[in-house]
Structure 1
Amino acid sequence: MASRAEQALADLEATRRGFTAERVRFWIICAVVLAFYMVSWDLAGVDLHKLATGLPKLGHWLASAWPPKLDEVPLFALRIAETVAMAAIGTTLATLLAIPMAIVASRNITPLPGLYYPARWFLNALRGIDSFVFALLFVAAVGLGPFAGVLGIALHTWGSAAKLFADHVENANLGPFEAVRATGAGRFTAIAYALVPDILPVMLSTTLFWLEFNIRASTVLGVVGAGGIGQELKNSMDLLDFPRLFTIIAMILIVVTLLDQLSSWLRKRLIRP
């Protein structure tokens, strides 16, 4: 009896140390992941030697950026205000467009089930194209200036916000909605009075997040001629005017930090029970 138990333990130990199906699968996955990152490293052109030789140059640029140039602060403030305005109008326009699209793209309440998947595909297309690319296209269509930036922000945010809104609707409690519908009220009446009050704080919080995100993202839209502080940023880089560049970056960081704090405070107020 003891010998059989010892043999069973020996067989179990041999199995643990051998190549089981689970262990082979694990090592195959590890090999695939390793191969993926090796190929990605090569495709990304990662070169640590270039980094090591470039850091002293970066340090020299940082040293030459002091003291900052303050004579153009009013101009920079105007360009930053332009950037914030672009983000605000683009985000607001996107939110207004996202609400009806979210209703169509929500499986549980859509009034047009046949448009559910086309609506989702359309939103995925908008989300898949960055606002930078949209702005580049609209610069060619409407010309240089912040209006192209507004349109670029609005289209990308439309897709992203509507998708998030639709996800919130699909995960919402439909008990009040169904109760209002049972009284004979129309679909849109039930949505307005039973569903929207329940998900409104989350939707407002999501909108604030996208406003905050778009303010940061729109700082670079000027690189393609879409107005805002990005244009001044590009001009400073092209001229290697590092004191001017340092001033612009510092002002952007100050404004973004203040807006981030304001957005966080508003979101806390919205989700407070």
Structure 2
Amino acid sequence: MTLRQAAFWAGFAALLGVSVWTVAPDPARLAAGLPRLLGWLAGSWPPDFSGAGDIARRAGETVGIATLGTLCAALLAFPLALLATRPLSPFLALYQPTRGVLDGLRGTDGFVFALLFVAAVGLGPFAGMLGVALHSAGSLAKLWSESMETADPRPAEAITAVGATRMQVALFALIPQTMPQNLSHLLYVWEFNIRASTVLGLVGAGGLGQELKNAVDLLDFNRVLAILIVIIALTLAADRISATLRRHLA
């Protein structure tokens, strides 16, 4: 084993030890809590779908948050992706700072952004949409810039040789070449946002999470089960739609 490998495994062992010490996993507590959880699950049957209109409205909010959030994210991500693509960035001094901005957006969960926007614009799905948009913009721009940086360089080199500008290289070489892949990334992010938007209501940002929080606060587990069934169905539908569209783009 080399010194570098030994240092890696020592660091991994230290990280694992700190994680165990911090989290303090307790199998005895889990064993004691499982019967209580099973009792709640048994008591939640049958699911309570009364007031289905409220659940449907919240489901619509969830889809709206994810869809508009993803669209706004794409509009934000496009210029950021150009700045974060080395062959296209008009000023190389902006390349690393833009990458840092993308890491910051991706590293801050949409849940956190939604919480901040709830404080800024008030309760409701608009705050959730803004939270989803900011987080997703970082993810999309990162994916798009990497696909353009790893694209076949020959078309870009050919039009650069005849005097094309960086923007012309982007519009006529890299973007057309990577369009199917980038649209696939967009659909994947939308699918992820459907799942993420179901819990934004826990901070007052609308969607099914809001209905779920209300049911949990009232200890209405029959209602909780009904909402969870709708969340699972919505997530599966988004997954199937996204997968089908991605196959057509491949």
- Shorter-chain TM-score bucket reads over 0.9
What are the equivalent positions in structure 2 for 1:124-203 lying under 5 Å apart? 124-203=103-182
Structure 2: state its 5+ residue gaps: none
Q: How many residues matched?
A: 250
Q: Deviations over 1:184-242 (max 9, x none)?
A: 33332232122211100110000111000011011111000001110111111111100
**What is the deviation of 1:104?**
0.7
SS in 1 for 2:199: helix
AA paired with 1:185? Answer: A
Whether 1:255 and 2:212 are equivalent positions in the alignment is no
Mapped partners of 1:32, 1:185: distance in 2 = 48
Whether 1:50 and 2:29 are equivalent positions in the alignment is yes
Whether 1:268 and 2:247 are equivalent positions in the alignment is yes
Mapped partners of 1:27, 1:109: distance in 2 = 40
AA paired with 1:153? Answer: V
2:15 is aligned, of 26, 36, 60, to 36
Whether 1:99 and 2:65 are equivalent positions in the alignment is no
2:206 is aligned, of 194, 209, 227, to 227
Mapped partners of 1:93, 1:265: distance in 2 = 23
SS in 2 for 1:217: helix
TM-score of the two chains, using structure 1 as the length reference: 0.87
AA paired with 1:160? Answer: S
AA paired with 2:166? Answer: R
Mapped partners of 2:205, 2:24: distance in 1 = 30
AA paired with 2:65? Answer: M
2:43 is aligned, of 51, 57, 64, to 64
**What is the deviation of 1:71?**
1.2
Distance 1:169 1:58, change over 3 A: same
Mapped partners of 2:157, 2:74: distance in 1 = 26
AA paired with 1:269? Answer: H
Q: Do the aligned residues in 1 keep the contact of 2:87 with 2:166 (CA within 8 Å)?
A: no
Q: Do the aligned residues in 1 keep the contact of 2:123 with 2:204 (CA within 8 Å)?
A: yes
AA paired with 2:107? Answer: G
AA paired with 1:105? Answer: A
Structure 1: state its 5+ residue gaps: 1-21
TM-score of the two chains, using structure 2 as the length reference: 0.94
**What is the deviation of 1:151?**
0.6
SS in 2 for 1:184: coil
AA paired with 1:148? Answer: A
